[in-house]
Amino acid sequence: MLKLTMLDLAISGLLVEGDLHGYELKKRLAELLGSWSSVSFGSLYPALRRLERGGYVATVEDVDAATPMSGSLGAELAAFRRDPARRARASTGRRARKVYTLTEAGHAQLTHDLGDPNGDEKSFAIRVAFCRLLPPDQRLELFRRRRDLVAAGLAGRVERDARADQYRRSLFEFQDDRLHRELAWVDQLIASAETESPTDHLTPGGSPS
């Protein structure tokens, strides 16, 4: 029952959408987290082994190349059909790939950690990326907590630009703007989530508009 890292969270989340091998996982992580978060193999593979040891993921047989069609590897198959190079590679030998799948325990841990109020705030983006896995009320809570945090961050930013040169003032302005935009974004997320959550926003005597 160890706590999932940011990386673990991302891996587990991606595996929900389908079984993947390490190399492909790295590419998906890059496009999910942005290309410059560069998850290296040196952290990816140990993370996978960690998750495997914990029983959160398991390796399955590599069905691709032998039986190309399989579950969520459909996208890969499309490219497979279009690209002659891939076909060639598959027919001849390719280095053995270890394909990972998320276990039930892994799925449970993922949904638990996604909604964990004590979770790392740096993983908020990842949590949003997979928040559809959460029940509506927990999703709403996730957004609300973030909102409060960002608002607090904004409130804490007072009278700091005395004795700051132009560059630092520009930096502070930029960061303030960032926080304001994030606040607006989270508010939008909250609004979006509220329409899907039956409870928790029954402000009685409200304004009909």
Write phi, then psi, for 171 (nearest 5 degrees).
Answer: -60, -50
Task: Specify the stretch interacting with DNA by CB under 7 A; choose among 94-102, 108-116, 128-136, 168-176.
Answer: 94-102
Residue 5 touches which member of DNA, its own copies, none, C-beta under 5-8 Å by kind: DNA
Site for DNA contains 72 (CB under 7 A): no
Return the residue of 29, 39, 110, 126 that touches DNA, per CB under 7 A: 39
Instruction: Check binding of 201 to its own copies (CB under 8 A).
Output: no
Closest CA to 14 of 64, 46, 51, 42: 51
170 scored as a contact of its own copies (CB under 8 A): yes
Rounded CA-CA distance 144/149 in Å is 9
Which position among 171, 191, 200, 201 is part of the footprint of its own copies (CB under 8 A)?
171
Cβ within 8 Å of residue 181, ≥6 positions away:
none
Nearer to its own copies, 69 or 75 (CB): 75
Number of residues located near DNA, criterion CB under 7 A: 31
Q: Which of 42-50, 173-181, 183-191, 195-203 is the region at the interface with DNA (rule: CB under 7 A)?
A: 42-50
Q: Is 5 in the site for DNA (CB under 7 A)?
A: yes
What residue 125 binds from DNA, its own copies, none (CB within 5 to 8 A, per partner kind)? its own copies
Strand partners, 101: 58
Footprint on this chain of its own copies (rule: CB under 8 A): 17, 31-32, 34-36, 75, 121, 125, 128-132, 149, 152-153, 156-157, 160, 163, 165-168, 170-171, 174-175, 177-178, 181-182, 185, 188-189, 192
